[in-house]
Amino acid sequence: MTWLAIAGSAVVTYAARAFAFRVALPSGLPRGVTRYLDALPAAIIAALAGPAILVPGGTVMRGPELVAALVVIAVVAWRRNLLAGVLSGVATVALLRLVLAA
Amino acid sequence: MLVTVLVVGIPFGIVARQAGLAPAEIVAMSVFVFAGASQFAMVQLFKDGAVWPVIVATVLLINLRHLLMATALRPYFAHVSEARRLAAAFVLTDEAFAMGIGWFRRGRTELMYYATFAVALYLLWNTATVIGMLAGPAIGEPRRFGVDFAITATFVAIVVLGVRRRSDAIVALAAALLAAALAALGASVVAVVTAGALAPLLVLFFREEGAA
């Protein structure tokens, strides 16, 4: 199961990378297609993050995750630094859980 | 940029290990898939119990953008052998593309620059993965230290770093909200990924803005 997922992911990733090296795509792909493909990765990532932020553990909004996500957005927008954002988000969640549990 | 690979690769190793993946599986992901955002997405989907075709389809969606990158790079590789082009494709990443295309557009033609940089990224990414993977179990009680949130925080950071236009932010927000609404209603991870694939259609309703 896990290995099929890894092997399949390796194959499709390489296919996506190699395809246009082998086959000349029309240099003027329709503008809409280009823009869709450009926006796609971030949208998929955002879709994976959304439930974990707003519906963590299957229950609607318990709080820490949403606050932490906002902290990550602010820190990354300000510092343009991924690690700083992740660390501040993790620290926020840990702190809020501690406070809320007390 | 090389440092960025380390600081993303180490957390990848950690969260993959925390998610219960075996060391061989984690290393195989970095060696054979070699795609940062996709690998984090895979870990999230493994945690969500997604079946393998869903994981593969999600990874394909995330990586379709390479079609555009390879199309832009292709002319500069026109004179090299098929084997070299296919090798260049294997190490094609956002970072390698950015460095490579900048180089070629300044009128340089040497492919060694792209190759060296891309391969260095590959080696660093794999080294970082192993470091994180070995460090992972040392962090006890992931929930208490918020480590279970690291993967979500990474997603948020990746999205924020990728926002170049107002429409990018709107698409990401729409994808996140739609996916969360579907998840709240008990929809499966397939619906969540579909929400992500549909949201970018919104860009077609925006007038084009220049990248900031």
Q: Phi-psi bin for A57: left (phi > 0), alpha (psi -120 to 50), beta? A: left
Among chain A residues, CA nearest to B202:
A36
Q: What are the sequence ranges of the domains in chain A?
A: 1-54, 60-102
With respect to residue B202, please indicate whether it lies within any of the assigned structural domains.
yes
pLDDT value for A61: 61
Contact yes or no for A20 and B149 at CB 8 A = no
Same domain, B133 and B182: no
Q: How confident is the model over B45-79, as pLDDT tens digits? A: 999 899 999 999 999 999 999 999 999 999 899 88
Same domain, B138 and B168: no
pLDDT tops 80 at residue A15? yes
With respect to residue B153, please indicate whether it lies within any of the assigned structural domains.
no
pLDDT tops 50 at residue B212? no
Same domain, B58 and B118: yes
Q: Which residues of A are less than 8 Å from B59 in CB distance?
A: 8-9, 12-13
Tell me the residue range of the domain where B179 lies. Answer: 163-212
Q: How confident is the model over B92-114, as pLDDT tens digits? A: 999 999 999 988 988 888 888 89
With respect to residue B122, please indicate whether it lies within any of the assigned structural domains.
yes
With respect to residue B155, please indicate whether it lies within any of the assigned structural domains.
no
With respect to residue B154, please indicate whether it lies within any of the assigned structural domains.
no
Same domain, B31 and B125: yes
Q: How confident is the model over A16-72, as pLDDT tens digits? A: 999 989 887 876 778 888 889 989 999 999 999 999 999 887 666 668 999 999 999
- Residue B100 distance to chain A (closest CA, Å): 14
With respect to residue B42, please indicate whether it lies within any of the assigned structural domains.
yes
Same domain, B144 and B181: no
Same domain, B30 and B127: yes
* Number of domains forming the structure of chain B: 2
Averaged pLDDT, B13-17 = 92
Contact yes or no for B70 and A92 at CB 8 A = no
What is the C-alpha separation between B82 and A8, in angstroms, rounded? Answer: 23
Same domain, B27 and B106: yes
Same domain, B121 and B70: yes
**What radius of gyration do chain B's Cα atoms show?**
18
Of B38, B71, B75, B31, whose CA–CA distance to B56 is shortest?
B38
Q: How confident is the model over B159-182, as pLDDT tens digits? A: 999 898 889 999 999 999 999 999
pLDDT value for B109: 81
In this prediction, residue B210 has a pLDDT band, given cuts at 50, 70 and 90, of: low
With respect to residue B158, please indicate whether it lies within any of the assigned structural domains.
no
Q: What is residue A55's DSSP assignment? A: S
Same domain, B52 and B136: yes
pLDDT value for A30: 85
What is the C-alpha separation between A14 and A33, in angstroms, rounded? Answer: 21
Give which of B67, B147, B170, B198 to mutate to test A binding, by max A Cβ within 10 Å: B67
Of B88, B146, B192, the CB nearest to A91: B146
